[in-house]
Structure 1
């Protein structure tokens, strides 16, 4: 059965392409939205729109009729991948993702992903929630990033959470270990991010084009001049945003193999455990959002994963030892 979603255009979504706004708000691919428009399934005041490049205006309301999602029956459930469930009800799940775990299928992942484990845990109904290759996935974390993420178990929950995410109604905070110490103990990085035109699996800061990206950071702890523990607050949700922004200000994340210039920086560190840490020391520590059914504000927190906690302990021990030297 088709579902209808109403999108009210607020100032933050005005003067933008319609397909872009719908894609961002409902968590759909741009290609799928464009097919919906062509099929006459997007209307304004009862009249179907015919152009994907239509520009939105403040106060307008659009109706998007979504046919049932064609499910991918080839995705085999993975009963062996354990899910660390922080919260679950009939509508949503909050998971504490382990480092090294892939969220959804990609090249050479097989069925060793959270998406496949969700099918095993929730049954076939979740196959029709969201994207066919990413059932239930509202937000994703990089393979080597650990921490909190929310999953939708119903279509209504998926679209509610996707819209809340697009409207920046989520609070997402991360714990990161950085090389060195930023010059200011707190700050905001406002720098557009775009896909790297040469290395297509990487993002980069761009002064010309790209999408607006904003990361707030607060230095919570320092370990001499070697490293710092920082709380990063996302005000936008671009791919690899924290990793790119921290590298941009000259304090990349310890262990980041993609953006960290890790070999050069780690070579200056005399602590083997820190020098040889091989995944970005980044953990999704806080997640706050409104429940899609009860509308109650939910808040979840997660301590750094075991491997990051060990690095923090090692850094603190090293600093304490240096402090006692004459």
Structure 2
């Protein structure tokens, strides 16, 4: 693709310029993917490679080479999905415990993506590449609850933008250690990679990204536990797990950020994505979906009351 910079768009970063130029031609490409293309030297200005911080000038000749999509090597699998809603743009799923959202090292089968490829055939967005078709956000393997998957690139871009500006409603329920004296509050702390254990996240003021979690105590339980609702203002990796642990309320079953052992035999943390709400990409109406608490969670609440 070739573009010529005009007076109206001079002085903006090359990635933002390309995003706007593509949109004007009704070409759907995410800004993050454009940034990747810039890093891979697939974007040239006036015959030269530029860096991501380059600001365009009037009459610049911008050439962006988009590689042909790679053939998807992930196999479709006939895995049952708990579908809460589906139309031509999106599919909303209640993810079960222990199921990985998209293929990665050690998990190339049995994922949500494998199941979606079987269920949706070719109707999934391609923005996030061959391993994550349709996936606009995810939840941890041992977290249950609502996720939305996009069937086309326009829907993907529209919902991704809402995630970026933190306008999506995301409410979780969790069981945490230790009861509360204050029934609601907010945890604010930037989250980034742990400086020593790179498999973990932590509150990292030097290299972390801003993160805010609002919590409300649903009930103080017996045996030193509490049932809480957490609403995300941002969506960082392991955000609820890190934030709640930082205020001495780690999630029950979370052996990464909480006690290594628990007398309750659980498969990972007791965390459920209960509510997901956003503006629909076609109707432009606000829609909200809710996944009921899984059986293990309900049974655990009864034991702890």
TM-score, normalising length: structure 2? 0.82
Give the structure 2 partner of residue 311 of structure 1.
300
Give the structure 1 partner of residue 109 of structure 2.
111
On the 8 A contact 1:72/1:133 being kept in 2, the answer is no
Give the structure 2 partner of residue 294 of structure 1.
283
**Distance verdict in 2 for CA 1:40–1:167, change over 3 Å:** farther
Q: Encode CA deviations 1:223-246: one digit per residue, 9 max, x unaligned.
A: 135111100010111100000001
User: 134, 137, 141: which one pairs with 1:136?
Assistant: 134
Give the structure 2 partner of residue 123 of structure 1.
121
Q: Encode CA deviations 1:94-143: one digit per residue, 9 max, x unaligned.
A: 00000100000111213211111111001134273532210000110100
**Distance verdict in 2 for CA 1:27–1:134, change over 3 Å:** farther
On the 8 A contact 1:26/1:163 being kept in 2, the answer is no
Query: CA–CA distance in 1 between the matches of 2:205 and 2:39?
Result: 32
On the 8 A contact 1:103/1:115 being kept in 2, the answer is yes
Q: Secondary structure at the match of 1:28?
A: helix
1:11-30 map, 5 Å: 26=30, 28=32
Query: CA–CA distance in 2 between the matches of 1:303 and 1:86?
Result: 11
Query: CA–CA distance in 1 between the matches of 2:52 and 2:99?
Result: 36
Give the structure 2 partner of residue 102 of structure 1.
100
Give the structure 1 partner of residue 255 of structure 2.
257
On the 8 A contact 1:146/1:283 being kept in 2, the answer is yes
State the shift of 1:296 in Å. 1.1
User: 177, 187, 190: which one pairs with 2:188?
Assistant: 190
Structure 1: 5+ residue runs without aligned partners?
3-14, 42-47, 57-62, 267-271, 317-326
Query: CA–CA distance in 1 between the matches of 2:303 and 2:37?
Result: 49
State the shift of 1:149 in Å. 0.3
Query: CA–CA distance in 2 between the matches of 1:88 and 1:287?
Result: 14
Query: CA–CA distance in 2 between the matches of 1:55 and 1:308?
Result: 52
State the shift of 1:51 in Å. 3.1
Asked whether 1:278 is paired with 2:282, we answer no
Q: Secondary structure at the match of 1:134?
A: coil
**Structure whose residues are more often helix by fraction:** 1
State the shift of 1:278 in Å. 3.4
Greater Cα shift, 29-38 or 222-231? 29-38
On the 8 A contact 1:129/1:152 being kept in 2, the answer is no
State the shift of 1:40 in Å. 4.5
TM-score, normalising length: structure 1? 0.77
**Distance verdict in 2 for CA 1:257–1:310, change over 3 Å:** same
Q: Encode CA deviations 1:155-180: one digit per residue, 9 max, x unaligned.
A: 11111111111011211010010011
Give the structure 1 partner of residue 9 of structure 2.
none
Structure 2: 5+ residue runs without aligned partners?
3-11, 20-28, 57-61
User: 38, 42, 48: which one pairs with 1:34?
Assistant: 38
Aligned alpha-carbon RMSD (Å): 3.1
